[in-house]
Amino acid sequence: MNIAIYAGSFDPVTNGHLDILRRALHVFPRVTVATAETVSKRCTFSLEERLNLLKQVTRDMEGVEVRAFEGLLVEFTRSLGAKVIVRGLRQTTDFDYEFQMATMNARLDSDIQTVFFLSSLEYLHLSSSLVKEIATLGGDVSQLVPPQVEDAIIQKVK
């Protein structure tokens, strides 16, 4: 019952995502990190690549499981017997989209709550797309993503 689902594109996973995950683990003993084949967003990394990176960087985190899902997030959440969806908020610009998603998910299943964790100050401006942009321009992303992810991005943007 105490499982939370941290859902996202994770294209690729950044230190900002991991910060939210660590803080979610202070509240929920088990967190399933879930990602899907995206419909609305074109991802740079395939589903398999995103899952592999997520698995590598969470390997030593107790209580974490990485899963792919298809279809509606609320249905996947329900299928695991979970009642909480975790999301992160960086700045006010995240709010509109997150509010819309959380409201719609609550309408689809009123038993499922969306819980938001606020980004730490140091990750407030960090996003997967910004990391990819910096790497494409030859910048250093070693402070922004774990080493395995840095290697994968460098290979990808070569």
Query: How many other CB atoms are found less than 10 A from the CB of residue 155?
Result: 8
Please select the residue that binds ligand ADP; options are 21, 34, 126, 153, rule is CB under 6 A.
126
Residue nearest to ligand ADP (CB): 16
| Residue 98 vs residues 2, 92, 119: alpha-carbon distances, Å | 22, 10, 14
The edge-to-edge listing of strands for the beta sheet with 30-36 is 64-69, 30-36, 3-7, 84-89, 113-118
| 26, 41, 107, 158: the active-site residue | 41
Closest CA to 54 of 8, 10, 97: 10
Residue 77 binds to ligand ADP (criterion: CB under 6 A): no
User: Closer CB to ligand ADP, residue 14 or residue 58?
Assistant: 14
Does position 119 interact with ligand ADP (CB under 6 A)? The reply is yes
Burial class (CB in 10 A: 0-12, 13-18, 19+), 142: exposed
* Residue of 33, 73, 74, 88 interacting with ligand ADP (CB under 6 A): 88
Instruction: Among 22, 94, 108, 113, indicate the residue that binds ligand ADP (CB under 6 A).
Output: 94
Query: Is there binding between residue 45 and ligand ADP (CB under 6 A)?
Result: no
Segment near ligand ADP (CB under 6 A); pick from 13-21, 51-59, 102-110, 131-139: 13-21
DSSP H/E element including 17: helix 15-27
Q: Could you confirm whether 55 is annotated as catalytic?
A: no
Determine the size of the site formed for ligand ADP (CB under 6 A): 18
Judge contact between 146 and 16, C-beta under 8 A: no
Which residues are designated catalytic? 17, 41, 90, 128
